[in-house]
Chains A and B, each alone.
Chain A
Amino acid sequence: AQRVTQPEKLLSVFKGAPVELKCNYSYSGSPELFWYVQYSRQRLQLLLRHISRESIKGFTADLNKGETSFHLKKPFAQEEDSAMYYCALLYNTDKLIFGTGTRLQVFP
Chain B
Amino acid sequence: KAGVTQTPRYLIKTRGQQVTLSCSPISGHRSVSWYQQTPGQGLQFLFEYFSETQRNKGNFPGRFSGRQFSNSRSEMNVSTLELGDSALYLCASSSTSANTGELFFGEGSRLTVL
Give me the interface of A with B, judged by CB distance under 8 Å.
Answer: 6, 32, 34, 43-46, 49, 86, 88, 90, 93-101
**A95-B56, A96-B101 known; 10 other A-B pairs, CB under 8 Å?**
A34-B101, A34-B102, A45-B104, A46-B103, A49-B102, A94-B55, A98-B43, A98-B45, A99-B42, A101-B43
Segment of B15-23, B33-41, B61-69, B75-83 engaged in the interface with chain A: B33-41
Report how many A-B pairs have Cβ atoms within 8 Å: 54
Closest 4 CB pairs of A and B: A100-B42, A98-B43, A90-B101, A44-B105
B107 at interface (Cβ–Cβ under 8 A)? yes
Residue from B3, B35, B101 whose CB has the most chain A CB atoms within 10 Å = B101
Is B32 in the interface zone, CB < 8 Å from A?
no
| Residues in B87-114 with C-beta less than 8 Å from chain A | 90, 92, 98-107
Which residue on B lies nearest to A97, using beta carbons? B45
Sample of 25 A–B contacts (CB below 8 Å)? A34-B102, A44-B43, A44-B92, A45-B105, A49-B101, A86-B43, A88-B101, A90-B99, A93-B98, A93-B99, A94-B55, A94-B56, A94-B98, A94-B99, A95-B45, A95-B56, A96-B101, A96-B103, A97-B45, A98-B35, A98-B42, A98-B43, A98-B45, A99-B42, A100-B42
